[in-house]
Structure 1
Amino acid sequence: MQSEASYSVQEQQFLDAVAQALTSKQLQRLTLSQYQGDLVELEKITLRLLEVQQQTVISALYHYKNKDVTQNYAVDEALSHITLLLSQCKQANLLTVDAEWQLKRTKKSVLLKCHKHKSSAQQTLANQLHDREKKRWVDQHSPFLHYLGVCDAEAKVIPSMARKWKQINKFVEIFAHATDVLAEQSRATHVVDFGSGKGYLTFALYDYLQKRLYQPQVTGVELNDKMVAFCQEVAAKSQFEHLQFFQGDVRSYEPEHLDVMIALHACDIATDFAIHTGIRLGASVIMCAPCCHKELRPQMQSPTILKPMLQFGIHAGQQAEMLTDTIRALLLKAYGYETKVFEFVALEHTSKNKMILATKRKDMSAPDADVIAQIQALKQHYGIEQHSLELLLNNQWQAHDLGKKC
């Protein structure tokens, strides 16, 4: 390691700028590249400010040839690590709210460039960009986003994944507001994501939780064994020790407890099985994006006054979806959940964008009789004989095939 006295004037100016950015919390990004030290296959290091468990830390992302490793440092110890790393890299780029710095070593000299934002308009824009970055629910530099193909090696969102990136952030935002109460629980928080697919949201939830809770446990449940193997590999590379993936579905995976139950686009009555699992295990939060509402439409008899409207197939389908999800929401309410139904950003490859969000408010020894009466009135009005979630909650369910595809 170089001593402080061995640094050139340019290098010391650069370090002074880094120190100022750290102490004032104005650091946006520090990139140390063309690494030439002892760490095998290390190519560059990216550092930025990050809030972890309500404390500001410096998050360092070490980019190796075949992997990325994240290490967090306390602000007061970060400068010594940066000083050492700077001595081992040929180039360094510092971006702060009000300036951009570049340090470059050649065989003959050390070059330092600094571009300061001159106008108030530029300063305002930089502050706005900085504020927007801090308000993102998912850290764009998190390695898992690169492994999943959302971001490139420079932590820039791949254009074709912009919609997915927006969806991930929106979902984590909804999750964050719904799960504030979980931080007060003493035991590890268990989140189960039924139908996790490639794991975009599952990874994002784990990444969010581990930065705010002591020991989150997140399980993705997915029928496709290749997807399960892929996600397990990404979890290992991301060093997500308590994120696991299970090959199966809502009937074959039976956790002892769960705090958050998630089921996005579970086909038809699979959504009912998932909601029932959440209620049965006393989940604090239940999040569903229902899909393929097939059960009620064949049963539905149009009331006389609605026959002119429901004679059109598209209207009948929309009415069946509304009725299905209304009964689901009311059943959740009857079992002690505060329930909302609202539009969610459209998931990739589908136009379905409705979400049912239920937060447990009280334990019920028996379902609310008034709400159950509302459900029975709706069923009678439309001639509905059977709703799967109601049967499951009444312990009247007989085996049905969930393996049918949409």
Structure 2
Amino acid sequence: MSATTTPAKPALDPRAQFLAQLETSLQQNAFIKLVLARHVGSEADLQRVIIKPLTVKDQACLSFVYRYKTRDITRNLPLPEAQALIAELLPESFRNAHLLTLTDEVQLEFSKKGKPMLHRNTPQQMREAPAAGHDREKKRYLELTRPFLTDLGVTNKQHELIPAMSRKWKQINKFIEVFSHALSSSALAEGQPVRVADFGSGKGYLTFAIHDYLRNSLQREAQVTGVELREDMVTLCNNAAARLEHPGLVFQHGDVRTVVPAEIDVMIALHACDIATDYAIHTGIRCGAAIIMCSPCCHKQIRQQIQSPSLLKPMLQYGLHLGQQAEMVTDSLRALYLEACGYETKVFEFISLEHTNKNKMILAVRREQPQDPAALLVKIQALKDFYAIEEHCLETLLKADGLLA
């Protein structure tokens, strides 16, 4: 009786081997990255697709970043759907696929005639697995699940970010990040309540955010006051604060000249136009604020006074440059006045608000041991003399209260 033999299974073609390797890496949590290149599809501006692991609501996904010449588009797909899409794209849309795993590096190439070729490289030591969390590249100081974000229209009822609010969400997180670093370097004791005044609070995005961060993230007692000129916004925000049970958060009708708290630990004024920024900084200093956060806008007072030296006039004959000079001089003097009043001050780029392209922030943290302001006052006067500036609103306010010699 003759023995029967089992016919050998036909070898997988290179494309099938590549897709099998991809599936194995996903099953073994060894997948790091996949890059699809040599685009041959119908979208002329599409250059490549970069695919990385991602976890969304405890579900394993793949994040597809479609890289065009002038923009990126991101799609997050569950694993089965993602694998099906990758198989569909090879080789109809892309002729090169580069797979990186913990243990292998595999490249699939297609010739002009469509013949697949597989190249494999095994590293000498295992690579480190990347984090697959949604926020693995950037720490978030607030969670999208916070109720106030849904109430204010940043997220939907499923706590998912509304695409049109992505810039606002980025701004909120950056603002809290800046505040968090300032708070940690300030002299505010951990056990004491934090009193915050936000002038020009608008719809209250940042006001709610800082209150939520202090009370829920840091577990600190917080008294936060939003000050806004538009009465409808004040009513809207007070109703939201009551509905969402934000104790210690209130909104008042007025501005920095009419609402003057007795004591402030944190003074915020974003997009305060022209000398309104000076009044806000003055209020912060006068009330002994440990942290002052300003995003200035418009610089009319100084621009009208500046007499530029003749050497600079050819450069400043252009209105844009003249405006930039007025902005730089005005905010430099503000920063120097803050330094002279005992603050460590930084001027840096922030994220522009939705109603202005201004993106500068002045951040001041009060020093525990103020420096002698004499040398700074000499520099300030020299700068004023150079530009023939006779009056700066902040200086006038500080001198009137005896806060500046």
The TM tier, using the shorter chain, reads 0.5 to 0.7
Give the TM-score normalised by structure 2: 0.66
Q: Contact conserved, 1:267 with 1:291, CA < 8 A, in 2?
A: yes
3-state SS of 1:389 partner? helix
Q: Contact conserved, 2:346 with 2:364, CA < 8 A, in 1?
A: yes
After TM superposition, the structure 1 stretch with the greater mean CA deviation from structure 2, 145-154 or 133-142, is: 133-142
Correspondence 1:139 to 2:143 = yes
Q: 2:206 aligns with which of 190, 201, 225?
A: 201
**CA drift at 1:182:** 6.2
Given the superposition, is the C-alpha separation of residues 97 and 184 from structure 1 closer, same or farther in structure 2, using an over 3 Å criterion? Answer: farther
Correspondence 1:178 to 2:140 = no
**CA drift at 1:363:** 5.7
Given the superposition, is the C-alpha separation of residues 200 and 391 from structure 1 closer, same or farther in structure 2, using an over 3 Å criterion? Answer: same
- In the aligned structure 2, how far is the partner of 1:360 from the partner of 1:304? 38
In the other structure, the counterpart of 1:232 is 238
**CA drift at 1:198:** 0.3
In the other structure, the counterpart of 1:392 is 397
In the other structure, the counterpart of 1:56 is none
3-state SS of 1:210 partner? helix
Given the superposition, is the C-alpha separation of residues 256 and 235 from structure 1 closer, same or farther in structure 2, using an over 3 Å criterion? Answer: same
Correspondence 1:253 to 2:259 = yes
- In the aligned structure 2, how far is the partner of 1:285 from the partner of 1:159? 32
Q: 2:58 aligns with which of 96, 112, 116?
A: 96
3-state SS of 1:139 partner? coil
Given the superposition, is the C-alpha separation of residues 266 and 137 from structure 1 closer, same or farther in structure 2, using an over 3 Å criterion? Answer: same
List alignment gaps of at least 5 residues for structure 2.
1-55, 62-79, 84-98, 103-127
Within 5 Å, give how 1:266-345 maps onto structure 2: 266-345=272-351
3-state SS of 2:142 partner? coil
Q: Aligned Cα RMSD in Å?
A: 2.8
Amino acid at match of 1:372: L
- In the aligned structure 2, how far is the partner of 1:176 from the partner of 1:294? 32
Given the superposition, is the C-alpha separation of residues 136 and 153 from structure 1 closer, same or farther in structure 2, using an over 3 Å criterion? Answer: same
- In the aligned structure 1, how far is the partner of 2:166 from the partner of 2:325? 32
Given the superposition, is the C-alpha separation of residues 330 and 227 from structure 1 closer, same or farther in structure 2, using an over 3 Å criterion? Answer: same
Given the superposition, is the C-alpha separation of residues 316 and 133 from structure 1 closer, same or farther in structure 2, using an over 3 Å criterion? Answer: closer
- In the aligned structure 1, how far is the partner of 2:201 from the partner of 2:272? 10
Q: 2:380 aligns with which of 360, 369, 375?
A: 375
In the other structure, the counterpart of 2:269 is 263
- In the aligned structure 1, how far is the partner of 2:152 from the partner of 2:373? 44
- In the aligned structure 1, how far is the partner of 2:101 from the partner of 2:215? 37
In the other structure, the counterpart of 1:169 is 173
Amino acid at match of 2:202: G
Q: Deviations over 1:132-163 (max 9, x none)?
A: 39931111011100110110001111111111
Given the superposition, is the C-alpha separation of residues 134 and 279 from structure 1 closer, same or farther in structure 2, using an over 3 Å criterion? Answer: same
- In the aligned structure 1, how far is the partner of 2:138 from the partner of 2:360? 28
- In the aligned structure 2, how far is the partner of 1:125 from the partner of 1:220? 45
Q: Contact conserved, 1:335 with 1:363, CA < 8 A, in 2?
A: no
- In the aligned structure 1, how far is the partner of 2:156 from the partner of 2:183? 30
Within 5 Å, give how 1:84-123 maps onto structure 2: 95-96=57-58
In the other structure, the counterpart of 1:350 is 356
Larger C-alpha radius of gyration, 1 or 2?
Answer: 2
Amino acid at match of 2:379: Q
Correspondence 1:244 to 2:262 = no
In the other structure, the counterpart of 1:159 is 163
- In the aligned structure 2, how far is the partner of 1:219 from the partner of 1:132? 33
In the other structure, the counterpart of 2:92 is none
- In the aligned structure 2, how far is the partner of 1:155 from the partner of 1:389? 43
In the other structure, the counterpart of 2:49 is none
Q: Contact conserved, 1:150 with 1:161, CA < 8 A, in 2?
A: yes
Give the TM-score normalised by structure 1: 0.66
Give every structure 1 segment of 4 or more consecutive aligned residues whose post-TM-superposition deviation is greater than 6 Å.
117-122
Q: Contact conserved, 1:183 with 1:213, CA < 8 A, in 2?
A: no
Given the superposition, is the C-alpha separation of residues 134 and 233 from structure 1 closer, same or farther in structure 2, using an over 3 Å criterion? Answer: farther
Q: Contact conserved, 1:97 with 1:130, CA < 8 A, in 2?
A: no
Amino acid at match of 1:155: H
- In the aligned structure 2, how far is the partner of 1:215 from the partner of 1:354? 30
3-state SS of 1:256 partner? coil
Q: Deviations over 1:334-353 (max 9, x none)?
A: 11101000000121121100
Q: How many residues align?
A: 287
Amino acid at match of 2:398: L
- In the aligned structure 2, how far is the partner of 1:131 from the partner of 1:198? 26
